[in-house]
Amino acid sequence: MKRSICRLGIAGLVIILLMVAGRAKNSGFTAMEEKPPAEIKIDNFVFSPSTLTVPAGSTVRWTNHDDIPHNVVSDDKSIKSKVMDTDESFSYTFAKPGTYNYFCSIHPKMTGKIVVQ
């Protein structure tokens, strides 16, 4: 008898959670919803935007739209992508606040900055 009450309790809890999740979804918010990554485009030998400000915990994605390979390397070398061909991407999640200067090591005049708040 105790087991059936316990199962009914768990089933009831599941129904309640599903109802709450449905309301949250209809309101435009879900507890498990993740933000899409902030985007930086690589095009015509330029990182755009050249400076991006994001909150701590944000993911930034660089996508190479040039016909020439590029990469992303932070000044302190703590962030380093592989060489990206056309339409390839690299993502990095910035956990700590700070300013992160970066460049393309293939074309060092290409520079950018991520400001993490």
Segment 7-27 mean pLDDT:
51
From CA 104, how far away is CA 87, in angstroms rounded? 16
* Alpha carbons 38 and 89: distance in angstroms, whole number: 12
Closest C-alpha among 12, 98, 4, 109 to residue 58:
98
Query: Which position has the token pair 């400000």?
Result: 53
pLDDT tens column, 34-91: 789 999 999 999 999 999 999 999 999 999 999 999 999 999 999 999 999 999 999 9
CA nearest to 104, candidates 57, 39, 53, 50: 50
Using DSSP, state whether 99 is helix, strand or coil: strand
- Model confidence pLDDT, tens digit, residues 19-31: 555 544 444 444 4
